[in-house]
Amino acid sequence: MNNCRYCGKLRDEWDCHGQECRRAIAKALRRQRLGLPMVPDVIRNEIPANATTGEVISVLSRQRLRARRRNEERRERKAIENPDID
C-alpha cells in the first residue's frame, strides 16, 4: 500500500480513487506541459496564524522574488531550447 502521489490517499498498485484522482492526474499533466513539476512540492502557506503585518510583507516579498527568479530561469531554458522563436 502506497500513498497516491496525486490525491494523497492510501492505495495499492492497481487501485484508483475515481474522479478525484483522475482530476488530479489531469492537473499534473497540465502542469508538466507548462514546464512545472507535476506535483507541487512547495508549501505555499508560509505565513503563521498570528503574523504581524511586517512578517506577512516579508514572506510575500520573498515568495514574489523566488517566483520571479524561477520565471527568469524558465524563460532562459525556453530560449536555449527554442532559439528560433522570439
Check residue 3 and report its DSSP letter: E
Report pLDDT digits (tens) over 8-17.
777 766 666 6
Q: CB within 8 A of 44, min separation 6: which ones?
A: 63
SS3 category, 75: helix
Q: Where are the domains of the chain?
A: 1-41, 44-86
pLDDT band per the 50, 70, 90 thresholds, residue 40: low
- Has residue 74 got a pLDDT over 80? yes
Task: Please compute the mean of the pLDDT values over residues 30-54 and round it to a whole number.
Answer: 74
* Predicted pLDDT at 5: 65
The Cα 51–Cα 37 span in angstroms is 30
- Has residue 42 got a pLDDT over 60? no
- Are the beta carbons of 56 and 63 closer than 8 angstroms? no
What average pLDDT does the structure give for the chain? 77
